Amino acid sequence: KDYGKAVRLFHLAADQGHPRAQACLGDCYRFGEGTPEDHVKAVHYYRFAADQGVSEAQACLGTCYRLGEGIPEDLVKAAQYCRLAADQGHARAQAYLGQCYRFGKGTPVDHVKAVHYFHRAVDKGHSGAQACLGECYRFGTGTPEDHAKAVRYYRLSADQCDAGGQHNYAQFLSFGRGLPQDDIEATRYYRLAADQGYIYAQRCLGQCYHFGHGTPEDHAKASHYYRLAADQ
């Protein structure tokens, strides 16, 4: 791979107004690939591409506004650009827009719209949206409570290695909600999430070892996972 040569070629095309080259050049400046990292220039090129309707650039510009990368943080504009991308079918933007409506980040709180955008992202296999949709069905947020559907979406997310999905699926296994109780399998999913640094799973896995739920009692391992959680 020759990222430096790629940047030169992207510049030639971007300077002629090619929107996808502008979006790629934004990535190069944002992540320092083939050129020094420069978030201001990244935003500059993302905006050119976003204004020409490139959904990936719209989503990335939304992320820059959300994180304050190369531009002052602005959650309203973050949501606006992600909506442009989401309405073109961009899964990551749909998942983020679901979170915007769920928690009122740059938009009014609207749980029904949150579920709508989570569903759209889930249809494209987005693991984070699967975990969020599981939460909505678990607590009846924006949709009727349905533990069987919560389990379904948590499992989909868990099987894509989403730590939140693994932890929440483990909880349902542990308490037998929406599926038969299985402490051994619950412990396995807690461990998968804990090994990704998920603090809540580390605490739960510590409890599994502490009390011998789904695994032999082991106070040394319990202390290990409690400490990992505490250190966060």
Return the amino acid letter for 209.
Y
Residues 81, 61: contact at Cβ < 8 Å? yes
Cα–Cα dist 23/14, whole Å? 9
> Which residues are CB-neighbours of 8 under 8 A, at least 6 positions away?
none
State residue 39's pLDDT score.
97
pLDDT above 70 coverage of the chain, percent? 100
pTM for the structure as a whole: 0.89
Angle at 156 between CA 151 and CA 157, to 5 degrees: 100
Q: How far apart are CA 141 and CA 144, in angstroms?
A: 7
Tokens for 203? 């605490």
Q: Which two tokens stand for residue 32?
A: 């320092």
Question: How many C-beta atoms surround the C-beta of residue 91 within 10 A?
Answer: 20
Between CA 15 and CA 197 the distance in angstroms is: 43
Query: Which token pair is 117?
Result: 């955008």
pLDDT at 169: 97
pLDDT in tens, 77-117: 999 999 999 999 999 999 999 999 999 999 999 999 999 99
- In this predicted structure, what is the pLDDT of residue 1? 80
Q: CA–CA separation, 81 vs 172, rounded Å?
A: 36
Report yes or no: 34 and 28 within 8 Å, Cβ to Cβ: yes
Integer Cα distance of 42 and 135 in angstroms? 34
* Average pLDDT over every residue of 170-199: 95
Number of residues that this document lists for the chain: 232
Furthest C-alpha separation in the chain:
66
Q: Which residue has the tokens 């959680």?
A: 229
Average pLDDT (174-198) is 95
- What number is the average pLDDT over the span 167-182? 94
